[in-house]
Amino acid sequence: MHRSILLSLLLLTFFLPATSWAQTLSGLIAGKLVGTDGAPLENISVSLKKAGTGVNTAADGSFKLKAEAGSQLLHISGLGYVTQETAVTVVAGQTTTLPTITLAVNKHELAEVQITGQRGLNQRPTTIGKMPVAPLDLPQAAVTIDRQVLEQQQVLRLSDALVNVSGLYVTSTTGGTQEELGSRGFAYGSNNTFKNGVRFNNGVMPEASALERLEVLKGSAAILYGNVAAGGVLNLVTKKPQFERGGSVGLRGGSFGFWKPMVDVYGAVGQSDKVAFRLNGSFEKANSFRDEVTSQRVYVNPSLLFELSPKTTLVLEGDYLRDNRTPDFGVGAIDYNILDSRSRFLNVPGAKNTTNQTSTTATLTSRLTDAWQLRATGGFQRYDNEQRTGNRPTGINNGTITKTNSTTKVSTVYARPQLYGNWQRSLSRTQTAENYYLAQLDLTGKFRTGWLGHTLLVGADADQYQTNALTYGAQAFDSINVLDRSRAVPAPAKRVSGYDQLVFSSRTLGSTRRAGFYAQDLLAISEQVKLLAGVRWSYLETPVTTYAYDAPVNGVQKITATEAKTRYDNAFSPRLGLVFQPLKTMSLFASYSNSFVPNTSASSFDADGKPLAPSVIDQYEVGLKNDLFKGALSANVTAYRIVNSNQTQTILPGAANYNQNRPTAQEMAGEVTSKGVEIDVQSKPMMGWSVITGYSYNHTAYTNSNIYENGSRLRYNPAHTANLSLYYAFSSAFGGHSFLRGLNAGITTYYVGDKLAGRNTRLVDPSTGKAWATADAFKLIRIPDYTQFDASLGYTYDRLSVRVKLANILNELSYNLHDDNSVNPIAPRNFSATASYRL
């Protein structure tokens, strides 16, 4: 009852000005401000020069200002932009709409203007969404983390930044060479990770020092990007060129021998007002809390901005990363029980993982008119990886020998405690080369048809992956005891002494080609009701050729080539969302969308030998977005349900459609369901305080399976996550002469609930269709929950800044697991400090 009265009063106050204007001989002035690139300008001051009253522009650059009837002079000003004054005649009781006003950048202002923290969570449109839509108008959850937060928290890896986004988490860190992410029960592969809008191979940990912001679009994004996983997409936006000269140099050091010099410089090229540059770079070297583990990386990120005309810009960006580190599969597990050690290294001496990643991106943006914009993107990425390593720590003897009767399938366990912890290590080697090409074209515009307003996106994209994966045959190296490395264990009879003795095993050549066409329209039915509708058609080709190498005879290996029949897949991805805004600062939304997963594995054929169609995943989402206290605090809540009702599964013997001539045939009859809730809260700086907090709950489980127990959870997804980052800047509360001015302090807390790893228990043996004979062959590992608590302190004096950070203060112990063969502990309590000087 009280809420209804409050809502009525709020709506009444919303409409009251419309009646008062007619009574006081006043009218409205409406307009929109954009930059020279056509992008809307937010938080620009628009005021009446005579009266002195005014407003700030909204996220889409629009403004409405009440004024007395007659001649008025608008004063338009904003930090970093040339001030303008515009004459306008106001008619009583009417709205005077001005043509779109373009503000030019003031190239003669201070080298660096501090305007960070001026936009709230629901005021930051994301480039990953492709449309010029205010976040409150978008029927989908989105979170942006700006550079100010990344610097305050001294973010080194993406996992450090994830503490600011509810429901986005690390699923595993296989081999310690990458961070695999997930959301809403689905893994983010390279298909879901982008840098500046172009797919990014996440087989290597990306560099965070060059990031301007991190954008997360939760839920399905298939209409925009094709076959992406249902959980969401992540876009890493790097720092862009500026005409004002500036930059910084810095040095970061910390625990475990870590040190990292960094540089960032930008400005106009020469005296040009048409060409600007930026250059980011860093070098990093470190040991680890893990024995014998080291890392070294070099990163360079150059970019150029060309103002080809007042309405057209071209941005060229390069990206080079060389990453060398010790592959580390962690502490190991025996019989699905994690070994009790945080630092013990189990890999072979000299193991090495080397990655080179180079990419270039060109983005051309042209403002055709005040309402229409064309954006073209071209990208290329080269990814090379070579790994020389021992095998993953599996098959470690648990002190027993199990013998299974081939007739009765009954297993007998014999105790052999003298073997407990023994493990035979072998050497393996892989090489992967990948070329990725992308071309993308987007047309966006705003127009009206009668009483309907339209924000339209029409686009097309095409990309290609060319992969060359070479595998060497693994060979025995030595035997150790994982519990006592000093214990003598008999060496294997046949062994190799180095990687150069390994011979080729297989080579796989792939050339995935994709294309898509999409259109979506945000229809403004009224100021309170908006409808987003769209559809995408995607086309895929996946030719694969495999070369198998026989054992060498007199130093020569026979090669057998197998060219798989090229698959041709296509899918439609619709999207429909409804937004209701009872207040300008509140929106409620409901949406439906779907995504798809191509079934391209060697066994993805039905009982008749026909290839399986892509699996379609349906997603339903409802949510509330709210700006409180005049936009100072944003609070968003989202609930979702994601259903893959045609997941592939093996056809079991005895089933009506079982074909004994195709025992590995599959059917699209399985089902996995993910459901959950996410809460994201962010504030603007208020009296020196700023806060980011959130919570997520997720339950992803088999809901229809012929092998696994229905209701059993899928692995790697935490049931609960919670986060809190709280910062205080003393300079906002004390005078300019106070010794505390420039001091800031913060805490960050991140909770990860229980996760599962290991292997889901099978109820049925897919090869026989009967109950699984050895129930202990597959077990789940319950990963302990933990709360990580970090604290930081920073001080800035003139151009010099110093930040210190103490991470994992409580020294919590947990793990990131992949199956049971990469058991990587999280870092213990550690310290870091960064000193930087602004140029």
> Residues 788-828: pLDDT tens digits?
999 999 999 889 999 999 999 999 999 999 999 999 999 99
**C-alpha 254, offset from chain centre:** 26
Residue 14 pLDDT > 60 = no
Average pLDDT over residues 204-219: 94
Indicate the range of 245-259, 387-401, 618-632 predicted with least confidence: 387-401
For tokens 């080269």, the residue is: 382
Domain 246-838 has CATH 2.40.170.20: yes
Query: Are 188 and 180 in contact, with CB atoms under 8 Å apart?
Result: yes
Measure the CA–CA gap between 14 and 431, rounded to whole angstroms: 64
- Pick one of 3.50.50.60, 3.90.120.10, 1.10.730.10, 2.60.40.1120 as the CATH number of 28-102: 2.60.40.1120
Q: How do residues 582-622 score in pLDDT, each as one tens digit?
A: 998 999 999 999 999 998 887 888 888 888 999 999 999 99
**Single pTM value for the model:** 0.84
pLDDT digits (tens, 9 = 90+) for 649-704: 999 988 889 888 888 889 999 999 999 999 999 998 888 889 999 999 999 999 99
**Is residue 698 helix, strand or coil?**
strand
- Say whether pLDDT at 758 is over 70: yes
Query: Cα separations (Å) of 752 from 144, 233, 299, 476, 787?
Result: 21, 21, 31, 38, 6
Q: Rounded CA gap, 672 and 431, in Å?
A: 34
Distance (Å, whole) CA 735 – CA 795: 16
Domain boundaries, the chain: 28-102, 246-838
- Given a contact cutoff of 8 angstroms between Cβ atoms, the answer to whether 700 and 185 are in contact is yes
Going through 113-244 in order, the beta strands assigned E by DSSP cover: 142-146, 168-172, 180-183, 186-188, 193-195, 198-199, 211-218, 232-238
Range picked from 19-33, 561-575, 599-613, 761-775 for highest mean pLDDT: 561-575
How far is Cα 814 from Cα 787, in angstroms, rounded to an integer?
Answer: 10
- Can you give the length of the chain in residues? 839
Q: How confident is the model at residue 79 (pLDDT cuts 50, 70, 90)?
A: low
**Mean per-residue pLDDT, 748-761:** 94
Comparing C-alpha atoms, which of 254, 262, 253, 302 is closest to residue 282? 262
Match 């349900």 to its residue by tokens.
641
pLDDT class of 17 with cuts at 50, 70, 90: very low
| DSSP string covering 411-445 | EEEEE-GGGTTEEEEEEEEEEEEEEEEEEEEEEEE
- Rounded CA gap, 356 and 300, in Å? 12
pLDDT of residue 735: 44
**Does the pLDDT value for residue 109 go beyond 50?**
no
Range 528-543 average pLDDT: 95
Question: In sequence order, which residues have a C-beta less than 8 Å from that of residue 759 and are 6 or more positions away?
Answer: 336, 715, 778, 779, 780, 819, 820
Residue 565 exposed, middle or buried by CB count within 10 Å (0-12, 13-18, 19+):
exposed
Residues 6+ apart with CB under 8 A from 210: 238, 239, 264, 280, 282, 299, 301
**What would the pLDDT profile of 307-324 be if each residue is shown by its tens digit?**
999 899 999 999 999 999
